[in-house]
Chain A
Amino acid sequence: MDILNWVGRFHPALVHLPIGILIIAAVFHWISARRPGWKGTAVVSTLYFFGFLAAAVAAFAGWMLAKEGGYQSDTIFWHRWLGILMVILSFVLWRLNRNTSRITMSWLGVGLIFGLLLVGHLGGEMTHGENYMVENAPNFVKKLASYEEGTHYPVYNDPDSTLVYADIIMPILEKKCWTCHSNNITKGGLNMEDLEAFLKGGKNGKVIEGTATSSELFKRVTLDPESKKFMPPKGNALSYGEIKLLEWWLDSGAPTDKSIASLETPANIQSILLSRYQLDTKPKSYIEKTKVDAVTEETMEKIRQHGFSIRQIAMNNNFVDVGWRDVDSLSVNNEIGILEEIADKIAWLDLGSTNLDDASFKVIGTMKNLVRLKVEDNPVTDAAIKDLSDLKHLESLNLYKTKITDICAADLVNLKELKKLFIWQTEFGDEGSTQLKAALPKVEVIGGYTLNTPPSD
């Protein structure tokens, strides 16, 4: 019945009356117990009577309000029956005031006070949300309540292991929606904490359907904030970043178990993920994606004995960076064979200015994961380039001050990933560049500069 629903809405206004009256009654009761003959003793019974009356009316309204639904059954159960118990207790205290032993009366009074506090708190939790009393409390109170503030975004390192729903979307919903749509409170029949219930929707049906714009969930948070249907009705609205993330998630089909890496991330989402969570979704380079076994310290030491410098690229990356230490008694061309042992683990090789000869390129050609190769300032000819054809991941090749000519362009076109080629002080000219760029348009051929070279070349 509508009229009873309307009466129910008076519950939050009415409940304060019995709480106030009954507390005064209990206080008067306590004073009169300690000071016999006190004037106030006369009104204790009357106060309990009015308290009982107000409590009964409030409880009735509360019962009606509960009928509307939307409250979590656990809390409402305790709130309802504790409320009823308060009505009964105040009735008992009114009726038995004169004829029962003082001690029983005192205990009943104490029980009433604690009951009122508890029932009031439960009611408050249902209207304002669980953390209402802690959110703005001093830090020691927060600690006591083991309440953690949601102001700092977590830092995620790896898009592969970061889940779009559990790590990104759910915390937003938790902060902005769960106050009213959780396991405890299900306003509009919608529980967003329980995933199954969330997907099922509220009493008006599904909230997630199709894309963002066709989903009630997205519509409600992007309405005119003045609108009655705007969500959340209280507190801070969703921020721009939160709305964009929500939109992106819904448009991706609202997956609940997928990782960030498995979804497509448009540029604006990439920058939001980066600035909020430090989550880098930019595509990774080849050596960051590829895993190899570590080179043992023993092997490294052996390679160092042969005149090379060797160093693991990073703590989290087993590829190595190899160079030449320029030991007087050793020649790189005699020693390079030792590198075959770790050929597929070398990502960067720097053998510039080492008198490297063409024959050594047989070994370099086996380093299949090589990304950066520096062989500048060496008597290297076109013949050497032929041996590099298998380096499918080579991105940067430094041939400056070598004896290469346009002829090697025919072999360079095999380096499909090549992005930078350095050819200053070589016979590699326009002809070679043209041939190379025709096959690999991405390649930047970097030659020499003079004082007056114009800006873009």
Chain B
Amino acid sequence: MHMYQEYIEKEIQLKTRRHFLRNCTTGLGAVALAGLGCQSKTTANIFAPTEMGGRATLSHYMARAKRVIYLHMAGSPSQLELFDYKPTLNQLHDKECPQSLLEGKKFAFISGTPKMLGHQAQFKQHGQSGAWVSDHLPHFSKVVDDVCFLKAMHTDEFNHAPAQLFLYTGSPRLGRPSIGSWVTYGLGTENEDLPGFVVLVSGGMTPSAGKSVWGSGFLPSVYQGVQCRSHGDPVLYINNPDGMDRRLRGQTIEAINQINQKEYETFGDDETLTRIAQYEMAYRMQVSVPDVMDISKEPPYIHDMYGTEPGKSSFANNCLLARRMAEKGVRFIQLFHWGWDSHGAGKSEALNHGFLDRCREVDQPMSALIRDLKQRGLLEETLVVWSGEFGRTPMMENRGGVANPFVGRDHHTDAFTVWLAGGGIKGGLSYGETDEIGYYGVKDQVHIHDLQATMLHTMGLNHEKLTFPFQGRDFRLTDVAGKIVQEILV
């Protein structure tokens, strides 16, 4: 049955004549508002706790991927130092940027006439597919035959927070559900003991857009991402306090839930159901989470492969955790690694300093992740996506018209590279092209909404049908846009 119809039917079943009469006494205004769909209907009853775990809703069509691991490089790495090789740009190095490229453009920092900046990297072709990868990613260059590059990505937003929101929620403003929430809303979870949507953050900072990039927006709050810390307790207060054993904790939660159940029966607020579900989930997570988060059990060769050090907080540890969660059936695993905003205003954000550190931090673990998923047979049913929130300019940044102390590039919306691997994606493919200097996409451009539509498609979800009624209309991740990039699908 269509999810919306199901929602409506369940809602009608719960409404009695008393509800109507009570609403009448509180005035016709409330009735009118209800008619406009303005009630705070944040939780749909269809996801009552008993149905939340094992039972998953149906895909629209056959899924190629059962889960997603999204590797987000917060701050946006330069595609021109990693994947998008443009020999012409090297020839133009240090020449003034022609006015025709600047007219009518808005940049975050560039002002006046900047100079062109050649590649701060050496490029070579790799693998049977001959993919161009720079020498900053020696490990990754060995897995390119499993990877599909989208070379002509473009977005609408040139500042971090709105661009991240746009990438994850389909809108640059706050309030919409993130893609992980949409996916778990559409498909449910495969593991009753773990959240369907887990977030792991490394690099010392959460992304600029904050927790909204894994928020559930107007979807029931059971679908928001659960952030697990890779250092210390994975989830705060997950251990029982001294003097309380698991049995006692279980009884406490049972008692609280009974009270909540009565509360729900009296008032019928759907958020109470979410609360009950969350208590139950938290109780199960007390066992499941420490287990899945403990990477010390992994054999030494796995640690060598990822470059992990148990107990530390790192992107490598998070990649290994991502694989462990994928094995356990977590639906959407979202990683953020902070520190890619290479403007060149300081050493830590210079293309020849901080940027290189970031490359070293991610190169081995992300490559290990692909290979480890592959050797376990998980890659064919797991979609791995790697991206920043936008790209970087072929020009050297000149903040306030003055050359920056270090080499860097400004934010750029018109062309950047994203790669995908695994479930339903053709490996060894480079899709899309940019012009001679990597400024604009000239062939097979892919917009953020197209990427979202394609990701949902690999999960068996139709981005035009995965909707949720809010404020009087059906919302969807891709709003009114989005075209599936069929050419990259198996």
Contacts and interface: CB of A to CB of B under 8 A. Distances in A.
A433 to B, nearest CB: 15
A453 B142 contact: yes
A456 B427 CA distance: 12
17 contacts: A285-B62, A311-B56, A314-B58, A314-B63, A315-B59, A316-B60, A317-B62, A376-B376, A376-B377, A422-B375, A422-B376, A449-B371, A449-B374, A451-B364, A451-B368, A455-B127, A455-B141
A446 B143 contact: no
Contact of B305 (A271, A446, A451, A456): A451
A206 B143 CA distance: 57
A325 B190 CA distance: 9
A314 B377 contact: no
Interface string A275-289: 100101000010110
B280 interface: no
Candidate in B60, B144, B486 with the most chain A CB atoms within 10 angstroms: B486
A396 B375 contact: no
Interface string A424-457: 1000000000000000000000111111011110
Contacts of B368: 451
A314 B143 contact: no
A401 to B, nearest CB: 9
B380 A449 contact: no
A374 interface: yes
Interface string B356-381: 00000000100010011011110010
Contacts of A325: 54, 192
Interface string B111-149: 000000000000000111000000000010111110000
B58 A312 contact: yes
A424 B142 contact: no
Contacts of A169: none
Contacts of A396: 377, 380
A160 B145 CA distance: 34
A447 B372 CA distance: 10
Contacts of A313: 59, 62-63, 460
B373 to A, nearest CB: 10
Interface string B44-67: 000000000010101111110000
Given A315-B60, A315-B61, A456-B128, A449 B54 contact: no
Contacts of B61: 314-317
A323 B142 CA distance: 33
Contacts of A450: 301, 304-305
Nearest to B368: A451
A309 interface: yes
A313 to B, nearest CB: 5
B76 to A, nearest CB: 27
A456 B63 contact: no
A374 B66 CA distance: 14
A187 interface: no
Interface in A288-328: 288, 304, 309, 311-317, 323, 325
A-B pairs, 5 with minimum CB distance: A398-B377, A449-B371, A422-B377, A455-B127, A314-B59
Given A271-B487, A422-B375, A455-B141, A315 B58 contact: yes
Contacts of B58: 311-312, 314-315
A317 B374 CA distance: 27
Contacts of A258: none
A449 B376 contact: no
Contacts of B144: 455
Interface string B477-490: 00000001011000
A449 B375 contact: yes
B255 to A, nearest CB: 24
Q: Among A313, A315, A400, A446, which residue has the most Cβ atoms of chain B within 10 A?
A: A315
A142 interface: no
A420 interface: yes
Given A449-B372, A449-B375, A455-B144, A288 B127 contact: no
Contacts of A420: 377, 380
Interface of A: 271, 274-275, 278, 280, 285, 287-288, 304, 309, 311-317, 323, 325, 374, 376, 396, 398, 400, 420, 422, 424, 446-451, 453-456
A271 B431 CA distance: 14
A184 to B, nearest CB: 37
Best-surrounded residue of A311, A398, A422 (most CB of chain B within 10 A): A311
B478 to A, nearest CB: 15
Contacts of B56: 311
Contacts of A398: 376-377
B371 A274 contact: no
A380 B446 CA distance: 45
Contact of A446 (B54, B377, B460, B484): B377
A378 to B, nearest CB: 13
A189 B193 CA distance: 75
Contacts of A449: 305, 371-372, 374-375
Interface centre among B58, B142, B377 (most CB of A within 10 A): B377
Contacts of B484: 278
Given A314-B61, A315-B58, A449-B372, A455 B377 contact: no
B462 to A, nearest CB: 9
A274 B484 CA distance: 10
Contacts of A311: 56, 58
A309 B54 contact: yes
A424 B486 contact: no
Contacts of B126: 455
Contacts of A285: 62
Contacts of A446: 374-375, 377
A180 B313 CA distance: 73
A454 B61 CA distance: 37
A85 to B, nearest CB: 53
A455 B143 contact: yes
Nearest to A397: B377
Contacts of B487: 271, 274
Nearest to A284: B62
A329 to B, nearest CB: 16
A144 B414 CA distance: 41
Contacts of B486: 274-275, 278, 280
Given A271-B487, A314-B61, A314-B460, A455 B375 contact: no
Given A287-B62, A315-B61, A456 B377 contact: no
A400 B375 contact: yes
Nearest to A300: B55
B167 to A, nearest CB: 24
Given A446-B374, A446-B375, A288 B380 contact: no
A411 B299 CA distance: 32
B284 to A, nearest CB: 13
Contacts of B374: 446, 449
B371 A288 contact: no
A321 B54 CA distance: 13
Contacts of A374: 377
A280 B371 CA distance: 31
B291 to A, nearest CB: 12
Nearest to A353: B327
A280 B364 CA distance: 37
A5 B190 CA distance: 80
B83 to A, nearest CB: 16
A312 to B, nearest CB: 6
A396 B484 CA distance: 26
Nearest to A395: B380
Contacts of B141: 455
A317 B100 CA distance: 53
A285 B192 CA distance: 31
Contacts of B376: 376, 398, 400, 422, 424
A142 B58 CA distance: 41
A449 B301 CA distance: 10
A389 to B, nearest CB: 21
A206 to B, nearest CB: 37
Contacts of A312: 58
A448 B377 CA distance: 11
